Amino acid sequence: MKKDGIGSLGKIGLLLLFVFIIAGCFSRSKPAYMIEHYMFEYASPVVGDLAVLSQSIKVERFSVNQSFNTQSMVYKSLPFKFMTYNYSRWRVNPADMVTDYLLRDLRKANVFKAVFSHHDIEKARFVIEGQLQDFLEAADKNDTKAMLSVSISLLDMDKKEITGRVVFQRQYSFQEQIREHTPEEFAKGMSINMSRLSEQLVKDIHKAIVTAIHPVSTGRPGVEPDSRAR
């Protein structure tokens, strides 16, 4: 009987020792780091006195270069070497963020009959497509810049021939110098770039659509009409 009693006490002691060891391990574990998320933040640009058009436009979801197809905040400080901030992320994928804010700014410009997104079932004569090619912070010993580069295509879906649908295809690139190498400054610089992109796109798209719906009638492409013709 005495032997059995000692065995039971030994088992209890081993159990308590195991509990204390486990508790000690957890108490010494590192605290979890909180991930901070960033988005653009800027007021929709004012585009000036542009006539309201009777045409609607649709913005398709932009694609993105695979190097930046991530919510990680990418920066480059050395040739051939790309890195990311450890505990900072974009709130959404850059392609979605650029698409959403451009859609917002086109609507707030109030110069088109309607502006639809790729989620809408409605169709529009003019469609905007885009691809993000650069979306990063570039840092060196001299300065640090937020860099945004986008390829934009405006299509006229009323054209039967696919090759004739392209109204324009252009490259837009913006660089904003930032004060320091931090995710906050990176997000601020990118917001300025996005604001400039939106402002320029509203003007360029408006001008291109006006030209498309009111073409110069010459009989020959690229030839101005002769005012003396009867």
The full DSSP string for 63-132 is EE-GGG-SSEEEEEEETTEEEEEEEEEESS-HHHHHHHHHHHHHHHHT-SS-EEETT-----SEEEEEEE
Return the pLDDT at 68: 97
Return the pLDDT at 77: 87
Residue 64 neighbours by CB under 8 Å, 6+ apart: 93, 94, 95, 131, 132, 135
**What band does 9 get if pLDDT is binned at 50, 70 and 90?**
low
Return the pLDDT at 230: 32
Residue 12 neighbours by CB under 8 Å, 6+ apart: none
CB 160 within 8 A of CB 183: no
Distance from C-alpha of 103 to C-alpha of 90, rounded to nearest angstrom: 18
Element (H, E) at 212: helix 183-213
Query: In terms of C-beta density within 10 A (0-12 exposed, 13-18 middle, 19 or more buried), how is residue 165 classed?
Result: middle
For strands 57-59 and 115-117, give the pairing: parallel
Higher pLDDT, 83 or 27: 83
pLDDT one-digit tens code per residue, 46-100: 988 899 999 999 999 999 999 999 999 999 988 899 999 999 999 999 999 999 9
> How far is the CA of 55 from the CAs of 75, 98, 179, in angstroms?
40, 23, 42
**Is pLDDT at 136 greater than 90 in this prediction?**
yes
Model-level pTM?
0.80
Average pLDDT, the chain: 86
CB 107 within 8 A of CB 47: no
Distance from C-alpha of 217 to C-alpha of 149, rounded to nearest angstrom: 35
Higher pLDDT, 224 or 106: 106
- Here the tokens at position 183 are 């995710």
**Is pLDDT at 218 greater than 60 in this prediction?**
no
